[in-house]
Amino acid sequence: MIREHQHFFLAGEELPRLVEAVAAHGYRIAAHKLVDGNPVLSRIADAGDMPRGLVDARGPGTYEVRHAGGGAWFGITLGQDSWKRVLLPPDEELLAFSRQGKGFAVEPRSGQPGAPWAFVGMRPCDVAALARLDQVLLGGPYPDASYARRRPGLLVVAVECSAPGGTCFCAAAGAGPGLDDGYDLALNEVEGEGRHFFTVRPGSSRGREIIAGLDLGAASVEQAGLAREAVESARIAMAAKPGIAGLAPVLSAAHDHPHWQEVALRCLACGNCTMVCPTCFCHDLADSETLDGLHASRRRRWSSCFMEEFSYIHGGCIRSSVAARYRQWCSHKLAHWVKQFGVLGCVGCGRCVSFCPVGIDIAEEANAIANNPNLPGSNVGGTK
Ligand code: SF4
Ligand code: SF4
């Protein structure tokens, strides 16, 4: 009998068998695929679509895909896309209206599900981000109908991390580099020194069903140990990163701290950080109609708290300065989210740092305030 969290062995060249087994269970597979040299989360036909032997080199404001040699399937840790793109698309029609006599008919359009998705290659930070989105979009009395239609059938095939990127800080966020829960299958890829294999462990009944069809043998104690050591080395590699837990009280009390103004001198208010962030969910609604007045449409589009018009209510913007908008974003992730949900709103994926054109680092900025909490205040504008 297959037990949850039992470690199985899969040879490196046999990953396509696992992907085929997932597809055979009726899932559409999403994974990284190279598009113009960049890893983009896409629907794939089979494992042959996945990039191999590549790594992502990331720093503040920089991202590059490089050849690593070897045949690792999951050398690329993260791309700019997060998986929210599939479950909460950047642009989707929610409602369609059509005139009928003197009235009109309304047709809900959102989240027509099709076959469920399997996300292959999700990192622990992104698994944690999925749990954050679930809290916001499924928890409470008003679940998001579109997200709720796509989410339940999702199969998570996650990969624990052994080589964090230069901007990763999931360990400080308590969201990696290993996995405790939230997955159907958890993989560890061990590659190098003449070895290439996976350990695979099921975390749900659906994961166990897929494993059962593959007829895999148990991983040896040595193989499971090598996988664990690799995760531990990733944790050690991130040990020097600034912490972000426990900053909620100081950030909540730092409304008028002058450091927000200092960040605003660098921040372009471009909103890149919010677009790539796996836990950001802000959106806008846009209505349009045909010129003949017979049809209309309501669409949801991603938006950003960095856009001035995002805080436009009652004839004015409540966050008119860039400093107020940066403060809102950073405080929401690291302080207000904690108050509302009991967890950080940041999972330490580091995308916002790499894809910020000027390399602003949320953990460093928050710590700049935490380390100087009593500087004289200055009003940066806005109410929140
Ligand atoms: S705030 Fe930045 S590091 Fe944190 S989850 Fe969002 S993109 Fe990742
Ligand atoms: S922090 Fe960076 S990515 Fe975010 S809005 Fe400012 S400049 Fe753009």
Give residue 362 CA to ligand 2 midpoint distance, Å: 10
Q: Whose CA is nearest to atom 8 of ligand 1?
A: 349
Q: Is the CB of 276 under 6 A from ligand 2?
A: no
Per-residue pLDDT of the chain (384 residues; tens, 9 = 90+): 777 678 999 999 999 999 999 999 999 999 999 999 999 999 999 999 999 999 999 999 999 999 998 999 999 999 999 999 999 999 999 999 999 999 999 999 866 678 999 999 999 999 999 999 999 999 988 899 899 989 989 999 999 999 999 999 999 999 999 999 999 999 999 998 889 999 999 999 999 999 999 999 999 999 999 999 999 999 999 999 999 999 999 999 999 999 999 999 999 999 999 999 999 999 999 999 999 999 999 999 999 999 999 999 988 999 999 999 999 999 999 999 999 999 999 999 999 999 999 999 999 999 999 998 876 554 444 443
Residues 255 and 261: their CA atoms lie apart, in Å, by 11
Per-residue confidence (pLDDT) for residue 110, from 0 to 100 = 66
Which residue's CA is the nearest one to ligand 1's atom 1?
Answer: 346
Pairing, β 117-122 against β 155-159:
parallel
Closest to 363 (Cα-Cα) out of 348, 380, 374, 342: 348
User: What per-residue confidence (pLDDT) applies to 383?
Assistant: 41
CB of 352 sitting under 6 A from ligand 1: yes
Query: Closest-lying ligand to the alpha carbon of 307?
Result: 2
Check if 306 has its Cβ closer than 6 Å to any atom of ligand 2.
yes
Q: Output the six-digit token pair for 142.
A: 């008003």
pTM of the model: 0.95
Identify the H or E element spanning 204.
none
Please identify, by atom number, the ligand 1 atom nearest to the C-alpha of residue 82: 7
Compute, in degrees rounded to 10, the torsion defined by CA atoms 244, 245, 249, 253: 10
Query: Which pLDDT does position 379 carry in this prediction?
Result: 46
d(CA 131, CA 135) in angstroms, rounded, equals: 6
